[in-house]
Amino acid sequence: MSEVHKTLIIGSGPAGYTAAIYAARANLNPVLLKGMQPGGQLTITNDVENYPGFPDGVMGPEMMESFEKQAARFETVIHADTATKVDLSARPFTVETNLGKTLQAETLIISTGASARYLGLENETKLQGRGVSACATCDGFFFRDKDVCLVGGGDTACEEAVYMTHHAAKVHMLVRRDVFRASKIMQDRVFANPKIEVQWNTEVRDVLGVDEGRVTGLLLENNKTGETFEQKTDGLFLAMGHTPNTELFVDWLDVDANQYLITAPDSTATKVPGVFACGDCQDSVYRQAVTAAGTGCMAAIEAERFLEAQS
Ligand code: NDP
């Protein structure tokens, strides 16, 4: 631990890489830690259809490779490490990593994103990778001609349900209310797909199949009538939104009721001067790749201005 970096970026989604591109072009010589899911959530999605500049859409992983290349082109130092501990009590800030590095930096940009939400059922954990998955794109292939259930009613759920019909024989969407949260266009795609059946007011109470070592069915409840019933299925896909990855920072920074990092209005500044937060770990409202990139840009500009004011 000798060099004190000007800017250290934690996270490698659209926010982190955009912050890196801007910080590098401002001569801040940023160091970026890729983290547990290099490239972030877009690496486990299919087509990204709503990122401006790609009229025909772009595959998520391909887009994130381009982000990384662009950050590297301006000489961002990119490490594969995941941050495991931070000390924000004084500047320079200290960050320890899972690969044994201890890094110091004058400014810190947190862009750790968010992770898929699970139901929290014991058997859901036991059968993870044995029929339970939170990533249709990653695991859909294993369910060729099978019957699967997918929980959630947002855009992700609709997108993943449609994707799953390329593999599975039948997709049951289990929606806890009697309406979708998803946008109209995604709903229309679901309703137009004969392989998808929507089960409204339906919640998962248990995952069956622990003895068989794979998902064999679900115990479901109709939350309107209170009726519980077993439904045979080969897979349980979770598509219920995300939780921000902010655990490392809660001792140092303010978070809201849902654990999102709190920043000043119209800014990425946290309550610790020199620490900035951007992307899905800080944005509970928009949570889009393009807004994450936007706040990543803001964070880098704010880090640059902060350092300038110190000199
Ligand atoms: P959302 O938060 O929008 O939706 C989560 C869904 O999961 C809701 O239907 C919610 O139900 C349900 N849910 C949450 N917790 C539970 C639970 N414990 N049990 C059962 N159901 C549960 O998350 P998404 O990931 O769908 O979307 C996030 C953002 O990304 C959105 O802004 C979305 O528009 C965007 N997006 C855009 C895409 C595109 O344009 N192609 C593709 C994918 C995402 P309830 O509605 O009752 O709260």
Which residues form ligand 1's pocket by a CB distance below 6 Å? 49-50, 117, 119, 151-157, 159, 176-177, 181, 240-241, 287
Which mutation among 205, 240, 260, 286 tests ligand 1's pocket best, with the greatest number of atoms within 8 A of CB?
240
Q: Which residues of 15-39 are buried (b: 16+ CB within 10 A; e: fewer)?
A: bbbbbbbbbbebebebbbbbbebbb
pLDDT for residue 48 is more than 90? no
- Residue pair 268/18 in contact by the 8 Å Cβ criterion: no
Q: Please tell me which residue in 47, 87, 135, 147 is annotated as part of the active site.
A: 135
- Residue pair 290/49 in contact by the 8 Å Cβ criterion: no
Which mutation among 45, 174, 181 tests ligand 1's pocket best, with the greatest number of atoms within 8 A of CB?
181
Q: Please tell me which residue in 139, 155, 234, 280 is annotated as part of the active site.
A: 139
Measure 17 CA to ligand 1 centroid, in angstroms: 25
Q: Which atom of ligand 1 lies closest to the CA of 50?
A: 40
Measure 302 CA to ligand 1 centroid, in angstroms: 31
Q: What is the dihedral angle through the alpha carbons of 188, 194, 200, 202, rounded to the nearest 10 degrees?
A: -130
Q: How far apart are CA 231 and CA 80, in angstroms?
A: 42
113 φψ region: left (φ > 0), alpha (ψ -120 to 50), beta (else): left
Q: Encode pLDDT of 173-187 as tens digits.
A: 999 999 999 999 999
Q: Encode pLDDT of 72-123 as tens digits.
A: 999 999 999 999 999 999 999 999 999 999 999 999 999 999 988 999 999 9
pLDDT level of residue 284 (50, 70, 90 thresholds): confident
pLDDT for residue 204 is more than 70? yes
pLDDT level of residue 256 (50, 70, 90 thresholds): very high
The one-character DSSP state at 206 is: E
The verdict on whether 139 is a catalytic residue reads: yes
Measure 27 CA to ligand 1 centroid, in angstroms: 39
The DSSP H or E segment spanning 163 is: helix 155-164
Q: Which residues of 242-272 are buried (b: 16+ CB within 10 A; e: fewer)?
A: bbbbbebbeeebebeeebbbebeeeebbbeb
**What distance, in Å, lies between the first and last C-alpha atoms of the chain?**
23
> Mean pLDDT throughout 54-83?
95
Name the residue with tokens 């068989």.
Answer: 212
Q: Encode pLDDT of 31-44 as tens digits.
A: 999 999 899 988 87
pLDDT level of residue 1 (50, 70, 90 thresholds): low
